[in-house]
C-alpha cells in the first residue's frame, strides 16, 4: 500500500518561473513629478527600467535592481524601498525580455520605488524622464477637476450599464473617479487604473485581449499613454504608495535638494499628491511639525522677491518618530 499523502507534501518548484525586477524612479523637475522610462528594443512603447534576477550572480534583489538601473540608464539610485511583488498569470503580456526566459516562463516581478532629488540627464540611449501625468492625466487635480474625467465617466457609465452587476459597477466608478458628488481620494491610483483595465478602457487591455479596435481618440487621450508589459500597473502602484506615504513619513524630502524654498517644497508636494495646497495652512503645518529650519540665506533665483532657503532636519530621523505632511490641508 502506498503511503498516504501528508499535509506537508508540495509540488516541485516550476523551473520555468523567472524573477524580474522593476524600478519606478521618481524625481521632481520644474514642479512636475517625473518618472524615469526606458524604451525596450523592438518596442514602440516606453516602460520602467527592468531586468532579471540571477540567483547565482546577484546577492540581493535590491543590489541587482540598482545595478541594472545604472546599466540601463546611467543613473545611480539613492532612496529605495520595495514596493510589491506582481505575480498574476499573464500579467507580463507582451512578454518582457528576460534573457533566458522562454515564452512559456511565468515572470514574477518585484517592484521597487526609488526617489531622486533631481531628474539628472542620464545621457543613456532610449532613456528619458517623463511627467507621470502623460500616463495618468486624470490624476492631476492641481488646477481643478481634470477635463480627462469627462470621456472616462461617459465610457465607464456605458460599461457599467451593460453588466448584470450594474449597481456595483456604478458604485465602484463613482468612488474611484469622484463622480456624482463623491469625494476625490488621491491614493486610489491603482484602483482607478485597474477599473479602467477591467472595463476594457485602458489601451493595455485592448492590446492584451487581442482586440483589434483602438480606443476613440478623445478617450485614448483621457486615459493616458500605454506602457510596455504591465509597467503602467506597477507605476500606478508606486504613485498610490507614494501619495499615501506623504501623510505618515517625510519622504517628500528625499525628492528635494539640500537647500530649498518653502514654495518649491509646496510645489513638490502638490506634484506628488496631484492637488493644490493652501499656502498658509501648509506653512503652519510645517512649523508645527518642526521638520525644516532656515539657513539664514536667500535664494535670488525665484523670479520674484528673494525667498529664504531651508533644509530638512534629517537628524530627527534618528532622534524620534517623524511623521509626514497632513493632507487634510488640501483645498476642496
What percent of the chain is helix, strand and coil (3-state, nearest 5)? 35, 20, 45
Q: Which of 85, 107, 88 is nearest to 97 (CA)?
A: 107
Contact 271, 28 (CB under 8 A): yes
DSSP structure string for 261-322: -HHHHHHHHHHHHTS-B-HHHHHHHHHHHT-EEEEEEEE-TTSSS-EEEEEE-GGGGGTS--
**Separation between Cα atoms, residue 34 and residue 243, nearest integer Å:** 14
Would you state the pLDDT for residue 189?
98
Would you state the pLDDT for residue 53?
85
Domain assignments of the chain as residue spans, ordered by start: 17-134, 137-224, 253-329
Would you state the pLDDT for residue 302?
60
**Separation between Cα atoms, residue 210 and residue 59, nearest integer Å:** 39
Would you state the pLDDT for residue 153?
97
Q: For the domain made up of 253-329, give the CATH fold.
A: Arc Repressor Mutant, subunit A (1.10.10)
Q: What are phi and psi of 167, to 5 degrees?
A: -60, -40
**Separation between Cα atoms, residue 107 and residue 57, nearest integer Å:** 18
Would you state the pLDDT for residue 133?
96
Would you state the pLDDT for residue 105?
61
* CATH of 17-134 among 3.40.50.12280, 3.90.79.10, 3.40.50.2000, 3.30.70.20: 3.90.79.10
- Mean pLDDT in order along the chain per 10 residues (332 residues): 40 63 94 94 89 84 88 86 76 45 65 91 86 97 96 97 94 97 96 96 89 86 94 96 93 95 95 94 89 89 80 88 69 48
**Separation between Cα atoms, residue 269 and residue 274, nearest integer Å:** 8
Amino acid at each position: 500500500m502506498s503511503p498516504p499523502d501528508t499535509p506537508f507534501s508540495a509540488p516541485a518548484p516550476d523551473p520555468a518561473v523567472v524573477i524580474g525586477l522593476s524600478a519606478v524612479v521618481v524625481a521632481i523637475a520644474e514642479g512636475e513629478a517625473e518618472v524615469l522610462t526606458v524604451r525596450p528594443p523592438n518596442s514602440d512603447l516606453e516602460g520602467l527600467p527592468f531586468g532579471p534576477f540571477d540567483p547565482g550572480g546577484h546577492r540581493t534583489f535590491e543590489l541587482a535592481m540598482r545595478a541594472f538601473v545604472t546599466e540601463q540608464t546611467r543613473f545611480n539610485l539613492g532612496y529605495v524601498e520595495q514596493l510589491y511583488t506582481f505575480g498574476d498569470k499573464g500579467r507580463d503580456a507582451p512578454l518582457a525580455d528576460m534573457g533566458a526566459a522562454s515564452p512559456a516562463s511565468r515572470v514574477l516581478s518585484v517592484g521597487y520605488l526609488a526617489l531622486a532629488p533631481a531628474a539628472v540627464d542620464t545621457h543613456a540611449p532610449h532613456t528619458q524622464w517623463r511627467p507621470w501625468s502623460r500616463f495618468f492625466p486624470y490624476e492631476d487635480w492641481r488646477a481643478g477637476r481634470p477635463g480627462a474625467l469627462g470621456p472616462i465617466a461617459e465610457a465607464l457609465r456605458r460599461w457599467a450599464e451593460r453588466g448584470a452587476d450594474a449597481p456595483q459597477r456604478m458604485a465602484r466608478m463613482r468612488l474611484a473617479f469622484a463622480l456624482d458628488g463623491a469625494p476625490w481620494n488621491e491614493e486610489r491610483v491603482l484602483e482607478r487604473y485597474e477599473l479602467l483595465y477591467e472595463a476594457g478602457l485602458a489601451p493595455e487591455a485592448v492590446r492584451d485581449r487581442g482586440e483589434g479596435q483602438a480606443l476613440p481618440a478623445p478617450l485614448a487621450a483621457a486615459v493616458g499613454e500605454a506602457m510596455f508589459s504591465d509597467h503602467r500597473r506597477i507605476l500606478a502602484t508606486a504613485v498610490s504608495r507614494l501619495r499615501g506615504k506623504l501623510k505618515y513619513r517625510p519622504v517628500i524630502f528625499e525628492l528635494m535638494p539640500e537647500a530649498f524654498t518653502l514654495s518649491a517644497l509646496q510645489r513638490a508636494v502638490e506634484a506628488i499628491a496631484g492637488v493644490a495646497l493652501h499656502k498658509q495652512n501648509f506653512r503652519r503645518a510645517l512649523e508645527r511639525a518642526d521638520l525644516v529650519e532656515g539657513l539664514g540665506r536667500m535664494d535670488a533665483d525665484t523670479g520674484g522677491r528673494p525667498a529664504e532657503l531651508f533644509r530638512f532636519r534629517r537628524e530627527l530621523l534618528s532622534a524620534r518618530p517623524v511623521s509626514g505632511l497632513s493632507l487634510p490641508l488640501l483645498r476642496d
